[in-house]
Amino acid sequence: MAEETIVLDQPTGTEGTTRVNVRVLDIIAALATQEVEGVARLRGSFSDRAQEAFGRRVRGKGVEVVQDDAGLTIDLYVYLNYGVSVPKLAVQIQERVKMQIAAMTELSVNAVNVHVEGMISPKVASTIDPNNLFGEEETLEDGQ
């Protein structure tokens, strides 16, 4: 099965084409979302979590990108930090993702839909490290 790609507009007189794999757009959207203060993390599938447990970094999780005649529609599935203003944070996420996709690919983003999957409390966020689920790695708090 071929990977889905999107052809970017080329300047007039330029020969050839530039194709971007849709996974690249997933990664751009995921990183832009994670840069917004108040976002705890994006949702991952079971297979994403399993791959991460075995040390593989999964990018683009919690992101779905669809292209149609109107442009791109991006769905983001996020967990937010407890206490943030959900409507304000959703707008910040939408603006950041649209800006990054446009700046990096010059593609038109029709819509960014933010799906809040849950809230993470400070107590939970400070005791569970998703990158160190089994406590195998020492942390600065452990004296290293």
Domain boundaries, the chain: 17-128
Concatenating the DSSP letter of every residue in 22-55 gives HHHHHHHHHHHHHTSTTEEEE---HHHHHHHHTT
Per run of 10 residues, the mean pLDDT along the chain (length 144 residues) is: 74 84 93 96 63 52 88 94 96 98 93 95 63 66 50
CATH 3.30.70.1350 fits 17-128, yes or no: yes
Q: Reduce the secondary structure of 83-110 to three states and give it as a string.
A: CCCHHHHHHHHHHHHHHHHHHHHCCCEE
- Which value, to the nearest 10 degrees, does the dihedral of the CA atoms of residues 3, 55, 41, 135 take? 170
pLDDT of residue 35: 96
pLDDT of residue 140: 54
